[in-house]
Structure 1
Amino acid sequence: MLNWPQRFNIIHGIARGILYLHQDSRLQIIHRDLKASNILLDTDMNPKISDFGLARNFVGHDTTNKTKKVVGTHGYISPEYAVHGCFSIKSDVFSFGVLVLEIICGKRNREFSHGGHTDNLLGHAWKLHKEGRSIGLLSASLQASCVVSEVLRSIHVALLCVQHRPEDRPTMWSVVLMLVSEGPLPEPKTPAFFIGESCSDHESLPSVDEHAITLLYAR
């Protein structure tokens, strides 16, 4: 029911909301459970981030923490949090990247299926990007209203956000700037939870931990 300008406004609004939590709020917050059902829309379709039951605050540059109890929603949890219980602002960045791909595709990451392969939404988006066909991720309902350059940039930024290693992911400040700028973007690395058909060459498996969580995630 939402056209592309509305969805792009939602994407940008979510990014600015997370940036506020990470940087501008009096209590700097890591949300830890960013997902589609926790993004509410007002009458003007402006996004509001909700449900802070799992949120944790941090001070200054102390942005990384560890827990023995991993909580959150599969499909949005970053690999370092799912495997080691380590969460940070980059965990929220990962969840945001998943959200962006879902908004563009119109399908949930965990429920995504494709007749040509068994990859999840992240893997599908990655394959299309490597083949230069990222626009193929766009929902058919958006074709009439989309701005191709905005769609491609949004997908590219999302892939930067879902990279396996936290240090490779951009900050939300960089994400907000990249979404509205027209400059060149860095090339993303292989996303988390992606094996691919050529997993025997290990290029798509940066670590044993990723391989383990990929199998766990698939089940």
Structure 2
Amino acid sequence: MIVIPAVDVLDHKVVQLVGGELGSQKITLPDIISTAMSWVERGAPYLHLVDLDGAFGKGNNIKIFKKVIKECGVPVEIGGGIRSESLVDELVSAGADRIIVGTKAIKEPEWLSKISDSHPGKIMAGMDTKNGALVVNGWQGASELTVENMFDIIKDLPLAGVLNTNVSVEGQMKGIDEEQSKRFISKCPHMVISSGGVTAESDCRMLSRFGAGGAVVGLALYTEKIRPWEWDRPWYAD
């Protein structure tokens, strides 16, 4: 299982929020490119870019994300406010490895089906959960669908995988919710990238045992509580 650094961007700066709450920044860094490159220089084989401005309807960071794709030299997945087919096409054309779609995919499953058919193996369904329920609109609203409903919808789609962010533990540095993670990964019909609460190497090892394909890690990397560049097999939890 791969450990993937999170590069979350708000107000055109790299941030780490607690539970997705505006104003809860624990980390703020001014240079998106240099931050992304710092992880690559430490050996990270993959990057996770999140456009929080896009998710919160505050504009977007697509131009700088395209520059990251071009300059960093590792595969990149991008999420946050991606709600149009034209933007998906633009990011795929720019070289993004995976495109994460959440709110619109959950609200309009037929749209998810259409874009995944148009870009097989490129689309990830973003399924953010809080207290076990799906949340949308930058984690600000509840979905009418359950997690199980969504699993049924996506089971036959040609997705690259599913990103599950557990908002209940996101950014709190208290560890993952073991039962929620195990249940979600075991029931999901696609490969799962887990996010939220990954605080220690043991969390990564546990997610690997549960069958996750990757773990997105933010604050624990920025504060160096997790140092995967020093592992026997850097950036991989087996």
- TM-score normalised to structure 2 length: 0.25
More helix by share: 1
- TM-score normalised to structure 1 length: 0.26
